[in-house]
Amino acid sequence: MNCGCADVVTPGLLDLFEARARMTQAARPIAGLECVALEAAAGRVLAAPARSTLDMPGVDNSAMDGYALRRDELAGAPSGLPVRLRVPAGAGVTRLPEGGCARIFTGAPVPLGADAVVPQEKVSLDAAGRVHVAGELAAGANIRRRGEESRAGEVLLAAGGRLDAASIALLAGQGIASVTVQRRLQVALVTTGDELIAPGQAWRPGAVYDSSGPMLRTLLAGQGCEVLDLGPVLDTPEALATVLAEARDHADLVLCTGGVSVGEEDHVRSVLERLGGIAFHGVAMKPGKPFALGWLGASLEAGTPLIGLPGNPVASLVGWQLLALPFVQGRQGRVPAPLQRFPVAAGFSRRASHGRRELLRVVLDWRAGTPVARLAGGQGSHMLGAASQAHGYLIIDADTPVEEGHAYGYCPGTQFLD
């Protein structure tokens, strides 16, 4: 299986990891904060550290349904301990009566004076209802101590983190009802191509349904961005310049697909040179080679950054994930996560890709107990089927053939890489 296109070795291509580092460095966080209700904060980026308001847990409480007691009183009572108190969750803090124990439930405050909780499975009750315990009981057993997780005033979540279900739960558990987050990143999306038609329109030979537009809108929404949809645009320098000028004035970032290669129908480069500039163009990756970072206006710092993704949809997807995503995250005030890679054996052989690192879309086969990477389908940069099935990328260095059974760097996640 191969991509179907010859490897064209283009001089001056930037190394993939160097390009990723440049994208990360170039991303300036946008200004602007909002206070939002915690329930509406999923996916948003925290603008300030979130601190605990309470010790967590707030009081010593029981980790089990059982009996709270003093261990020395249990040891000194061969005829068992009478149950003198009942403490359900939600009860206030009480004191354990001398010489007795308390029936207690998970999450209920441990009565003052008790130094262990025995789970009910380890307790036998005699006819008089007295508690007998088999075996040893460690000091503090089954007691969740006040403040053992965090203390009031401690930083729970650092600024720049994205609020997910667990972090929202963490803040809710502290009684926090609203958070200060970065405003949403405004991204102008420009798809280019005379051939593009929208899904739902009648097809004619030569027409191509716009698949990258829906894909990028989905990916941008997944990052909590607001999308200003300005495409598809016709393949003329005038049409592109008009749309990019509008994008420049209304967005924090322009994401453009197609028209970024070298043919005379590809105008992104020339229009960028006219309306702004180019930081780099061309990365030694397959797919995704014509990827570009540029700007509209005075400079990358002062103007509106523009990311040019290649037209082939899979090249666009890979360019988004490995290069555009860290830039988007940086503009959102996030610290982009390092690219994860760990060795996985290839279950296939394949010829080398000349001059470019190849990002093969693979599935992991666990049937033998350890993972084996298998091609998820056709690897052409126009073939979305494999991308939709893949579990991740096998990253193959340039000019390196893949040999079955040898291990290569595997990067998990091909769609919502975070």
Q: Which residues bind ligand MOO (CB under 6 A)?
A: 286-289, 310, 312, 315, 381
Minimum distance from residue 180 beta carbon to ligand MOO (Å): 40
The yes or no reply on residue 315 touching ligand LQZAQKY5 (CB under 6 A) is yes
- Segment contacting ligand LQZAQKY5 by CB under 6 A, of 63-71, 147-155, 163-171, 310-318: 310-318
Least separation in angstroms between residue 250's CB and ligand MOO is 29
8 A C-beta contact, residue 70 and residue 152? no
Separation of alpha carbons 416 and 142, rounded Å: 40
Please measure the distance between the N-terminal and C-terminal CA atoms of the chain and give it in whole angstroms: 29
Query: Residue 198, interface with ligand LQZAQKY5 (CB under 6 A)?
Result: no
Judged by beta carbon, residue 95 or residue 354, the one nearer ligand LQZAQKY5 is 354
Contact 83, 102 (CB under 8 A): yes
The rounded distance, in Å, linking the Cα atoms of 50 and 44 is: 13
Please identify which residue in the block is written with the tokens 């280019």: 192
- Of residues 7, 60, 210, 252, which one binds ligand LQZAQKY5 by CB under 6 A? 210
Among ligand MOO, ligand LQZAQKY5, none, what binds residue 258 when CB lies within 5 to 8 Å by partner kind? ligand LQZAQKY5
**With contacts defined by CB under 6 A, how many residues of the chain interact with ligand LQZAQKY5?**
27
Which partner from the list ligand MOO, ligand LQZAQKY5, none does 330 bind, CB cut-off 5 to 8 Å by kind?
none
The nearer residue to ligand LQZAQKY5, 155 or 221, going by C-beta atoms, is 221
User: What is the token pair recorded at 237?
Assistant: 């320098």
**Residue 15 or residue 226: which is nearer to ligand MOO going by CB?**
15
Give least dist CB 417 to ligand LQZAQKY5, A.
Answer: 19
Q: What per-residue string of b and e applies to 102-122 under the rule 16 or more CB within 10 Å gives b? A: bbbbbebbbbeebbbbbbbeb
Helix (H/G/I), strand (E/B), else coil: 292: strand
Q: Tell me the C-alpha distance between 380 and 272, whole Å.
A: 28
Distance CA 204, CA 195 (A): 10
191 binds, among ligand LQZAQKY5, ligand MOO, none (CB under 5 to 8 A by kind): ligand LQZAQKY5
Positions 279 through 298 that interact with ligand LQZAQKY5 (CB under 6 A): 287, 289-290
Asked if residue 329 lies in contact with residue 223, where contact means CB atoms within 8 angstroms, the answer is yes
377 binds, among ligand MOO, ligand LQZAQKY5, none (CB under 5 to 8 A by kind): none
CB 67 within 8 A of CB 134: no
Q: Around Cβ 177, how many Cβ atoms within 10 Å?
A: 10
Of 288 and 333, CB closest to ligand MOO: 288
With contact defined as beta carbons under 8 Å apart, do 395 and 408 qualify? yes
Contact 332, 29 (CB under 8 A): yes
261 scored as a contact of ligand LQZAQKY5 (CB under 6 A) = yes
Residues forming the site for ligand LQZAQKY5 (CB under 6 A): 8, 10, 191, 193, 195-196, 208, 210-213, 257-262, 266, 287, 289-290, 310-313, 315, 381
